[in-house]
Each structure stands twice: as C-alpha cells, then as structure tokens.
Amino acid sequence: MRFRVFIFLLFLHSISIAGGSIYSRFGLGILRFSTVDKTAGLGGLGIALFDPIYVNRYNPALWSELARVRISGGYLYEGTAMRDKVKNTFLTSGNFDGVLFAIPLWKKYGLTFATGIMPFSTVNYSIKKDSVLENKYFSQRYKGEGGISNFVFGFSFRPFSKLSLGVRGEYYFGTIINSWEADFGSSEFFFSDIKRERNYGGLGFTVGIAYGLGFRKNSLTMGFVFSSPVNLKGLTTVEYTIPVIGSSTVSEVNELTSKLPYRAGFGFSYFVADRVQFSGDVYYQNWEKFHINGEHPKEITDAMRIGAGVEVLPSREIMAGFFEKTSYRFGIFYNKTYFKIDEKQITELFFAIGFGFPVSFDTRMNFSVEYGFRGDLEIVRDRILRLSIGVNTGEIWFVKQKLED
C-alpha cells in the first residue's frame, strides 16, 4: 500500500498544465508557499506547526516529533483570471507539488532524517497582444515556462524535551524559458522570435529551532527558521530567429551568475483546546540583495508574508466516526510580494479552507481550497483559485521481531 502511494506521487510529477500569471515574468517567477499538505488549508503557514504525523516543509526542527516513517506529497491546480483596464484572460495550471520522505532514526532524541523535492518558484504565462503599425495588423505573444525546484536533505535533533533543532541542505535547480514572438500576418513582413533559456543550480541550507513541542490544551510551540543566501550558477542561451526566406536561428551562450537572498521567519502554534490549534507566521525575504549577472532587477524588492490559521480535530480516537476524525482548517495570509511594478509593490490576500480526511489508521488525505487576489487594475489584477489534494502516510520500520522459543 505505501509503495503504491509513493509510485502515485512520482507519477504526479510528470503531469502539468500550462498557464499562470503575467507576474511570473519577473525575477524567478511566482514563489511557491502554497503546498498540498495540511498547511494549504491554514493559509500556507507552518514554521511552528506542531504535529507528530506531519512532515514539516518549513522548519526541519519539527521533524524530531515524527514517530513513524512518513511520505507526503500531492498535486496543485491553479486557475488565474487576469484583468487590466482593457481585457480579461483566464489561465490554468496544474503541477506536482513535491514529495517528502522522513525516517526517525533515534526517537529518544528526535533524530530524524528527511529528504525530498519541493517547488521554489514557477514561471507560467502566455499573453497575446494585437497591434497596428503603419496600418498593418500584427500580433505579439509573450510566453514563459519553467521554474526553480529545491532538493532537500537534512536532520533534526532534540537535545532537551522541549527544544528541537534542525538543519537541511538544499540544492536549487531549474530552467526558466522566456520567449517573444511576432507574427505580421502578411508576406510583406516576416515572422520573428526570440527565446531566452536560463539554467540555474546552487547549494544552500536552512536551519530551524522549535521550542515547546506540546499538543494538549494551552501548549505553545514557537519556531524560527533561517535560509542562507545561495549563489546560483548556470548558462544563458538566447536564440534569435532571423527573418529571411527559409529563416535561420542564431544562438548565443553565456555564463550566468545569480544570488538568492537570505530569508527568515518566526511562527507560533497554540492549542486553545485539546483539539483546537491556532497558528501564525511572519516570513521576511531580503530580495533587495537578489541579482542576475551582477545587476539587481528594478522589478524586485524585499518581501514580507503574514498568515494565521486554525485547525479543529473533533476526535483522535480510533473508534470515532469518519467526520469526527476529519480535520477542519481555516486560514488567511497577506503577502507583500517581491514584485515592484511602476514603483508599486504588488500584494496578495488569500483565504483558505481545508480538510484532512482519515483514509486508514495512519494515512490522511488533505484537500484544500484557496481563493485570493494579487495586484490591482492599475497594473494587472489576478483573481486566483487553488485546489490541492495531498496524501500523508506512514508506517513503522526497523522493528525487531520477537522469536518464539
């Protein structure tokens, strides 16, 4: 059963649907905070989200509380309705949203190893613009695809009963392709296009601290995470289609250097009652230090994200009914994104609702709905609907069998 779930999660990695937001044209694209696990229904927070059956994607220190080997992952659908002063456009996208695998090695001290792959950013847009030049109609199409992924591997350790530490290594990698096409629709002109492909790769790390580690009434857990700056290196390939009869393509290849800034966040999680958990996060990103080939893009600025959410789990009893063992989640977040267009910082506001359905004794299926807004009509206004489904399953490994005499 667990093996089939793992194969299913890997199969999702091969499924994708084109589409997205024009804002992903800038920087490294749309940064991915929304996930397919329980955090999606809580407003995408998780720095101090204490749960012994959840592989935390934000804070490696919280891996120390896992009691079993766990696998989690899933799929995210996103529909974006873009509107400016002139026209409306609706685009959709669907992508595998990562998988994490955690193995407790020494439960007494919370020593746990975890690894997996997570999305860091996504570029997905396709915009067509119709124009007239010297009484001649022509169309332009701007397209972008790709993004940055993050392969992680690390450990957690609990030196004291209420204090946990964690560190994970991170390898950022990916390809971002931007293209421009012009079609003059007439034999008097020629079709032309430019395509730029950037390949990235670089190592970094994230350290985390968690204090409290309780899940009874009035239990408070606090968490802190810090992600190091990352030097990214790679290649930039630019292809030009020369508008001559038969057409030909000219390519240029150059070295690429870029730098991700440091990121830091603080969160808390508080059990108002034994089955009611309230959480909140603040996450800061120093994108003013971001650069590509030594230059800082003018469309990029520092970012700040604030979120809060509540989860209600009526019962943890094995014999309880289906709806009593179902988790109910609600969340909200406000994000000052790292996009700055025409000297105006682009913001987001999202509302979320989610459910954690019991599938078997140690397997839960998470389903979440998020709805929010990005930008405004003076530039581009995005209305975004996200639907996510994820699987979180676990089992016991390395158990010694007793032999009968």
d(CA 117, CA 301): 27
How many Å is the Cα radius of gyration of the chain? Answer: 23
> What is the SS3 assignment for 399?
coil
Task: Encode pLDDT of 236-255 as tens digits.
Answer: 999 887 666 556 677 889 99
Q: Which of 34, 171, 176, 28 minimizes the C-alpha distance to 97?
A: 34
d(CA 62, CA 67): 12
Task: Encode pLDDT of 87-104 as tens digits.
Answer: 777 878 888 888 999 999
Task: Encode pLDDT of 263-286 as tens digits.
Answer: 999 999 999 998 999 999 999 999
pTM assigned to the model: 0.88
What pLDDT, on a 0 to 100 scale, did the predictor assign at position 119? Answer: 93
d(CA 240, CA 174): 22
Write down all domains in the chain, each with its CATH number in brackets: 2-395 (2.40.160.60)
